[in-house]
Amino acid sequence: MAEPESLRCSSARNRGGVQRVEGKLRASVEKGDYYEAHQMYRTLFFRYMSQGKHAEARELMYNGALLFFSYNQQNSAADLSMLVLEVLEKSDTKVEDEMLECLAKLFSLMDPNSPERVAFVSRALKWSTGGSSKLGHPKFHQLLAVILWKEQNYSESRYHFLHSSDGEGCAQMLVEYSSSRGYRTEVDMFVAQAVLQFLCLKNKSSASVVFSTYTDKHPSIEKGPPFVQPLLNFIWFLLLAVDGGKLTVFTVLCEQYQPSLKRDPMYNEYLDRIGQLFFGVPPKQSPSYGGLLVLLFKQISPDGELERSGTARASPLELELRSSETVEDRHH
């Protein structure tokens, strides 16, 4: 079998010793001795780690994972992928684009339905922010979003786009999502939800880009503004109001478009948060807001990561209201 694609994740000076052992390990895999080869990879991993050879261990596990993936040995490949993360966590490896691309490559090769993939991406996101409470490096989120988009896993792709800075990519994905999975009457709701959530994440620039790109490229939206759909006009005015920062404009806008905003009960919750962030509105101390927080924390699994959903149109969508809160995607 041809050698799998390899992103060399360490400098050339580390290649000599690694290449020699890789030849023997590859021979074992090619003969079908998968278990023996897997155990040898693990033995070498712990040997390199005990010697402080982090770069060698990382590269050997990475290329070993690619090799096992090429032979459809998912369990062994996933195990070595986790060892790549262990090296990163225990060494002082800097978070750079090359390493994020390596991790995204491993993620793309994993079985989309495997629990190992969930565990892998959870640890990888945490490493990408230096172990902080943040939700992951924007570049890594963008790479994951594109992979999930190609897999037509639109709801999880949207989640990762929200935590990236790629408003244009998010809009193009949403056009495809709306056209292939949504109703024609919902064409405005796909982008409205995304814009409101970007604004709740204080990402005003991506909110504007996703709106302009989506409305320009969607085949079912006539050129505007103004638009035929009142909800699109509301979002357009809202983005202008956010730039202006005038509370009276925001208040009148929300009042005038209440019929459109009632189409999704989450819209007014998002707008409450947007009012706080951009217009100085004090937080509500109402039962409904407290109820929302209860709902948010119910959507967080014990380790603080996003729970998976088994339904195609009801996957929960994590949304950072402060630093680690989540909002359920109620659109569908």
Question: Cα torsion for 253, 332, 182, 172, to the nearest 10°?
Answer: 70
321 pLDDT higher than 70: no
Mean pLDDT confidence for 2-27: 64
Average pLDDT value for residue range 132-143: 87
Task: Give mean pLDDT, residues 199-205.
Answer: 96
CA dihedral 99, 302, 145, 5 (to 10 degrees): 40
Q: 317: pLDDT confidence band, cut at 50, 70 and 90?
A: very low
Q: Report angle CA 130, 135, 136 to the nearest 5 degrees.
A: 55
Contact 267, 261 (CB under 8 A): yes
Tell the burial category of 175 from Cβ atoms under 10 Å away from its Cβ (0-12, 13-18, 19+): buried
Q: Above 80 in pLDDT, residue 227?
A: yes
Burial 188-225 (b: 16+ CB within 10 A, else e): bbbbbbbbbbbbbbebbebbbbbbbbbbeebeebeeee
Whether the per-residue pLDDT at 304 is higher than 70: the answer is: no
Q: What is the pLDDT of residue 133?
A: 52
Section 295-316 average pLDDT: 34
DSSP secondary structure string, 90-105?
A: HS-----HHHHHHHHH
Please, which pLDDT band fits residue 324 given cuts at 50, 70 and 90? Answer: very low
> Is it the case that residue 288 has pLDDT exceeding 60?
no
Percent of the chain as helix, strand, coil, to the nearest 5: 65, 0, 35
- Is the pLDDT assigned to residue 187 strictly greater than 60? yes
Cα(282)–Cα(84) distance, integer angstroms: 46
pLDDT at 123: 95
Q: What is the CA radius of gyration of the chain?
A: 23
The yes-or-no verdict on residue 244 having pLDDT over 80 is yes
What is the pLDDT, as a whole number, of residue 14?
A: 53
Report pLDDT digits (tens) over 62-77.
999 999 999 999 999 9
